[in-house]
Amino acid sequence: MGYTIAIAGKGGTGKTTIAALIVRLIKEEKLGSILAVDADPNSNLAEFLGAKVKESIGSIIDDIASNPGKVPAGTSKDRFIDYRIQTAIQEQDGFDTLTMGRPEGPGCYCYANNVLRNIVTKLIKDYDYIIIDNEAGLEHLSRRTSREADALIIVSDATAAGMRAAERIHDLAKELNIKTKKNFLIVNRSDIKPKALIEGVDYLGSIPEDKEIEALSLNGHSLLDLKKTSRALNCLRGLGDKIWH
């Protein structure tokens, strides 16, 4: 059974950066097979990992909805979607990627979340690690995309507003009975430990601002190109044992 790490946080905190760096570190440590799942409709995780998205769950759903004749005779639509998604998983060097994307049809978004949740449940047994970059804010939890995880990492910035948003994410996870074995807080782009922490969430650490990450992101380069001397990368590496062991 794969070890699932779900990453959440409000927009702008750098949660996708953290997700990509975790994928890189697990890959570098050769801990096992990895599936990186971009569950944020504003999909950036694959790009951060140097991968190009050929098909997403959203585009597959739209394609089949627009062309129902593509479903083979004797095969249900759900089974055919499942097959198409399996073929949409992209093999990279040391990890695979799967992207949710944003379906365009009315009512498709909830359906896409259900499809993603079901496919991840099936794929857990095929990978040692599943890294899920969830939608910014609270929407992914209210739609219950991630019903359970071995580790939930809530990413915040060092502001009071960011910490309040992080606390709301944790509270909503409890209200929705999202089952998590470990709950962590990472404060991103800061050297400061916040004065007020979140009850029931372990403060994992603060990741310093890294100009190299900013430069790579602005130029559309992969975070796999980040130098091993990166402060942010080495700081997160030092926290790894608590996250994925």
Residue 106's pLDDT is 60
Q: How far is residue 244's CA from residue 241's CA, in Å, rounded to a whole number?
A: 6
Q: How far is residue 109's CA from residue 29's CA, in Å, rounded to a whole number?
A: 36
Calculate ∠ Cα 123-243-29, nearest 5°.
75
Q: Position 101: which residue type?
A: G
Residue 41's pLDDT is 80
Residue 118's pLDDT is 85
* Structure tokens given for 201: 């969430």
Residue 32's pLDDT is 97
Phi, psi dihedral angles at 6 (to 5 degrees): -105, 135
pLDDT (tens, 9 = 90+) of the chain, 245 residues, equals: 799 999 999 989 999 999 999 999 999 999 999 999 999 888 899 999 999 899 999 899 989 989 999 999 999 999 999 999 999 999 999 999 999 887 776 666 778 888 888 888 888 889 999 999 998 765 656 566 667 889 999 999 999 999 999 999 999 888 888 889 999 999 999 998 988 899 999 999 999 999 999 999 888 899 999 999 999 999 999 999 999 87
Q: Looking at domain 3-244, does it have CATH number 3.40.50.1220?
A: no
